[in-house]
Structure 1
């Protein structure tokens, strides 16, 4: 029998520690491979950790609510064969062992945005020389049968450390960074970016020191070259997890200062999403920033040092007057993968399945804007500043009382229309990870300030990647607003399986005729789309006219 120590993996880029939310096992339990061991939480997500081995739990390190360091022992096992730790000197527990309370499972949800590493990794670390270890795709979401490979962080021949990020995968719920369960040399990468991989299928094959988890013949020393749409690739360039894969045939751009060129062309710099966003704001190309973190990862301090040393982004190379009129050559081919592909598929499916009818009406919001300005001028310190969305949300809630069928989901395959009593309002939001629809639940029970707070909360959670699954699903009708970029009119696409979507456009002063006089009023066009199988044109017009009347006479929004 051997001893295996499962250490807390890195569950988010740059995360140094995580809070232990709850245990699913206790000392003495027999645990199967991939069985859930514990729930942990960072400031970005709650994650379920699964066992990398089958065995008996001999120690569980940490109490619920305690902050645990990444890389520290979490669970110790007694396993068949050789483990990954000496049997004579088990580390003393960092904290008292605490079994779960009555088998309770702490609520956990997969992450909505692409910043979280897997719950656990596959296979035990080895104990004899030159063995093969196959890392299989773990279950990165409850009930997930497959995941899309978004990009590789390693290539064949790379020497990889335990817990180093090897790939990004995406389900319909989240983008996840997978870390290596072992240290070793990559001998095969199973899959190409954009490919759907089955959970439990091989992802990366390693040559490791000691004992592996497969027979020597099961993992070739070198992966074959893919033919056509093969399932295994022998060498893949590292790719970003937050951008589509790009293949560029242009001539090489003029290089920036040689002092800052630290990577070869096409090599992916390692950095957290926060660092990438900051670099984007600063106009810095991470390609030229030296990284001081593990495996050369770029930290915030590296950006500071780069800026302080006078480093420039690659865009600076084209800033001279001589390049203003230079000829552009070549093309760029972009593979639409990851979240962008999911959005594309959802939009195409909605248009394909739903016969849209679009209705546009102009609304005089002068009185509404006067009321809003008054409320903002007299609000209490703890109340949020109001924009127009809480008033539109209230108008939708009131209008739905007369036409509840519009607050429905239509299952066109089963031929069933489900009408909801509660109004769960989707708010289409643009985030760094693409278009998402966070949900304001029970909008019918909220006043304008509460509505404004909840819109800000769920939209902010979607943008920073901390939104939970139930905050991104279950809407019954959606508002899609482009804010000050709202334009004059647009044709919103319904968020399937809903049957209606409301799209306010920007507010602008226009000259209109009132009582025979030309006057300047604040006007807003309201664009809306309806599922014509459920909502007739007449009913759509009645609904929008009701919203128009409520917004033009805002005192009626809270009457009756």
Structure 2
């Protein structure tokens, strides 16, 4: 028997250290080639570290949340043969698992402990033999869903990678346990004294660092404007009815991207990055729109590149593709970096106003709130119109208040008179 040592790999980007985000194995586990051993995080992406060998884990080189130097010992595996003690190299290739990350955009880690159930399990599907203190792999969203359903995650069989519990597994657990659905439920007013401590590491740490950095370095100011989106919604419905089956359904987002592109022609100072250390503002001709996307592991900003050269349906398809990749953890590092201006929306939950945080080094972010029907006075008559607020933030070090207001008013004019979106 010999020992195969895996060192912390050089992820690239000229970095000297990375954060160990999560172990997928423990000492004593048997592993096979290509099995994911750990997740590590750089400033831009989450990366999977796969095993290059079959063997048994005999030592781990760090704890989740620890920042480790490139080349330091990551894990030791007992293998058949002589092993590689003399040349303890990192596995190649390193498999990137970006988005659920990860990248220029903000990120979140898995909780350090499983959430305590709010009540006794509602249903008992086929149970998994886990120790009482064993934490099954699951995303924060799955943990919350299980908590809401009153399911103990340690009882659920996971079908995801490395036994990760998925939303589908919760559904299966409930479906298979319907025969016990009539079991009494704990009283709604039962006292609770449990506590849960969640270590801020990995993606959650990156989110915290980026948000703190943005609010400390930039001089944020917000501007909110009300927009009548009745006409643009009528156009969207018409285009979907006529072309939806052949070209795909349009949401409001591609229209907003188009409005940004057109408005930026007159306000190039918004499509810029500010290097506050070098004191240099770089205005860009290309419009690379970051579209803030929520996933199970945190907030990400995949980038619609060269939005200025895309049609409505091209933008819609790219937004959908990137959002799916981000939510599934499949977006690449390049797809999560390089934006010049960001569009953020909470969809139907968007509220009536928000104060979005800048995605540095950008100088502008446009926030979309929910659409509501309200009585409005139009030409002396009270009519029902579809209204929506844009809640946007700017870096006052670069953008003057008057310019910000005029920029948002330009977007408003384009959306309220949608034909002007396509007039060159």
With structure 1 as the length reference, what TM-score do the two structures score?
0.63
Please state how far the C-alpha of 1:450 moved relative to its aligned partner.
Answer: 2.0
Per-residue CA distance 1:276-316 (angstroms, 9 max, x = gap): 79x96996655224579998788999989866753899xx8
Per-residue CA distance 1:298-348 (angstroms, 9 max, x = gap): 8999989866753899xx89x845431111013111112111211221111
Please state how far the C-alpha of 1:532 moved relative to its aligned partner.
Answer: 0.3
Per-residue CA distance 1:131-181 (angstroms, 9 max, x = gap): 55432122345544322112223334x143343543322223433333444
Per-residue CA distance 1:223-247 (angstroms, 9 max, x = gap): xxxxxxxxxxxxxxxxxx9622138
Do residues 267 (structure 1) and 134 (structure 2) align? Answer: yes
Do residues 287 (structure 1) and 154 (structure 2) align? Answer: yes
Structure 1's 154 and 353: CA in aligned 2 closer, same or farther, altered over 3 A? Answer: same
Please state how far the C-alpha of 1:521 moved relative to its aligned partner.
Answer: 1.5
- Using CA pairs below 8 Å that are at least 6 residues apart, which structure has the higher relative contact order? 2
The residue that corresponds to 1:176 in the other structure is 47
The residue that corresponds to 2:97 in the other structure is none
2:40 and 2:49 in contact (8 A); partners too = yes
Of residues 66, 69, 87, the one that matches 1:198 is 69
Q: Distance between the aligned counterparts of 1:384 and 1:204, measured in 2? A: 47
Secondary structure class of the residue paired with 1:379: helix
The residue that corresponds to 1:420 in the other structure is 284
The residue that corresponds to 1:243 in the other structure is 110
Structure 1's 312 and 172: CA in aligned 2 closer, same or farther, altered over 3 A? Answer: farther
Give aligned pairs, total: 398
Do residues 166 (structure 1) and 37 (structure 2) align? Answer: yes
Structure 1's 394 and 162: CA in aligned 2 closer, same or farther, altered over 3 A? Answer: closer
Please state how far the C-alpha of 1:516 moved relative to its aligned partner.
Answer: 3.3
Q: Distance between the aligned counterparts of 1:454 and 1:362, measured in 2? A: 28
Q: Bigger radius of gyration, 1 or 2?
A: 1
1:260 and 1:311 in contact (8 A); partners too = no
With structure 2 as the length reference, what TM-score do the two structures score?
0.81
Q: Distance between the aligned counterparts of 1:468 and 1:292, measured in 2? A: 24
Q: Distance between the aligned counterparts of 2:125 and 2:388, measured in 1? A: 53
Please state how far the C-alpha of 1:400 moved relative to its aligned partner.
Answer: 1.0
Secondary structure class of the residue paired with 1:377: helix
2:214 and 2:357 in contact (8 A); partners too = yes
2:341 and 2:365 in contact (8 A); partners too = yes
1:188 and 1:205 in contact (8 A); partners too = yes
Q: Distance between the aligned counterparts of 2:29 and 2:405, measured in 1? A: 64
Structure 1: segments with no counterpart, 5+ residues: 1-128, 219-240
Please state how far the C-alpha of 1:481 moved relative to its aligned partner.
Answer: 0.8
Q: Distance between the aligned counterparts of 2:296 and 2:44, measured in 1? A: 16
Structure 2: segments with no counterpart, 5+ residues: 89-107
Structure 1's 253 and 415: CA in aligned 2 closer, same or farther, altered over 3 A? Answer: same
Please state how far the C-alpha of 1:512 moved relative to its aligned partner.
Answer: 2.1
Per-residue CA distance 1:351-397 (angstroms, 9 max, x = gap): 11110110001111222222222222222632122222222212211
1:247 and 1:334 in contact (8 A); partners too = no
Give the RMSD, CA atoms, in angstroms.
3.7
The residue that corresponds to 1:460 in the other structure is 324
1:262 and 1:290 in contact (8 A); partners too = no
1:396 and 1:547 in contact (8 A); partners too = yes
Secondary structure class of the residue paired with 1:177: strand
Q: Distance between the aligned counterparts of 1:294 and 1:403, measured in 2? A: 47
> 1:72-87 maps to which residues of 2 (within 5 A)?
none
